[in-house]
């Protein structure tokens, strides 16, 4: 395949970025999108040019690091996959592909296609955990959990924190990410004890990080590679209202 790549190049968060055009040839349709960028970088290195910086780790759709806009869509044109799971057979010979980083105030560009997503870490640190005494693990059957609740909690827990929801949202809201993290903890008995405090603290951290408000357009769920449901945002809103009215936790 012959392709024309238009790639966002930016030295750091304080410098102006620009689109640069790179023709590339010899791309196999069975390559992943990241393998295609590897080929581009090999060519750039041979030409003694600075390779394109991009984030990646597992390349198995688990880590959530391979975050980039591809032709205006987070993670590219295929649904339910991350960038590393996107293959070049999704494109045609001769196509022009535009590649950009996430664009959100809370996700400043580090370099090229790499953004700083530590704002997500701040939200998790605020309450995305369960406080328990250390010691031996409890017997798995000691705390019964209804199957339907367990399924809902696990469906929320599959969020990989890639940030596609933020990138897709017109307000750069992280409510889908936040609601998934709150849901998978608050729905289980182990997380109920800290439920009110968790939702208040994590919501506060979300707002302080610079993420926008949710207007329920649904773009976040539509572009989520793990297809996290919007019902989690509704659950979060109910939990936040209840906690605001009844919790003694100071925010």
Q: Which residue has the higher pLDDT, 176 or 139?
A: 176
User: Is the pLDDT at 112 greater than 70, yes or no?
Assistant: yes
Question: 118-246, what's its fold?
Answer: Fumarate Reductase Iron-sulfur Protein; Chain B, domain 2 (1.10.1060)
Instruction: Dump pLDDT digits (tens) for 6-29.
Output: 999 999 989 999 999 999 999 999
**Where are the domains positioned within the chain?**
3-110, 118-246
Model confidence at 144, in pLDDT bands (50, 70, 90)? confident
User: Is the pLDDT at 189 greater than 70, yes or no?
Assistant: yes
User: Is the pLDDT at 142 greater than 60, yes or no?
Assistant: yes
pLDDT at 190: 86
Model confidence at 247, in pLDDT bands (50, 70, 90)? low
pLDDT at 233: 97
Q: Place domain 3-110 in its CATH homologous superfamily.
A: Beta-grasp domain (3.10.20.30)
What is the rounded average pLDDT of the residues 105-130? 96
Model confidence at 131, in pLDDT bands (50, 70, 90)? confident
Phi, psi of 32 (to 5 degrees): -80, 165
């Amino acid at each position: 395949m012959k392709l024309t790549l238009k790639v966002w190049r930016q030295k750091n968060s304080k410098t102006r970025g620009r689109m640069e055009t790179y023709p590339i040839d010899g791309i196999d349709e069975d390559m992943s999108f990241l393998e295609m960028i590897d080929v581009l970088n090999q060519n750039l290195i041979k030409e003694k040019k600075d390779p394109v910086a991009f984030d990646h780790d597992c390349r198995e759709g688990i880590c959530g690091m391979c975050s980039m806009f591809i032709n205006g869509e987070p993670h590219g044109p295929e649904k339910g996959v991350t960038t590393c799971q996107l293959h070049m057979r999704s494109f045609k010979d001769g196509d022009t592909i535009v590649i950009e980083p996430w664009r959100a105030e809370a996700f400043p560009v580090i370099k090229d296609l790499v953004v700083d997503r530590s704002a997500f870490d701040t939200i998790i640190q605020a309450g995305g955990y369960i406080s328990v005494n250390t010691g031996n693990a409890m017997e798995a059957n000691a705390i019964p959990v209804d199957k339907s609740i367990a399924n809902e909690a696990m469906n929320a827990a599959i969020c990989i924190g890639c940030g596609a929801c933020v990138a897709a949202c017109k307000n750069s809201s992280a409510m889908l990410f936040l609601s998934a993290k709150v849901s998978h903890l608050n729905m289980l008995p182990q997380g109920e004890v800290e439920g009110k405090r968790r939702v208040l603290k994590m919501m506060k951290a979300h707002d302080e990080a610079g993420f926008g408000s949710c207007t329920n357009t649904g773009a976040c769920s539509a572009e989520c590679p793990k297809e996290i449901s919007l019902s989690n945002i509704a659950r979060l809103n109910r939990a936040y209202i209840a906690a605001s009215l009844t919790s003694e936790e100071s925010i």
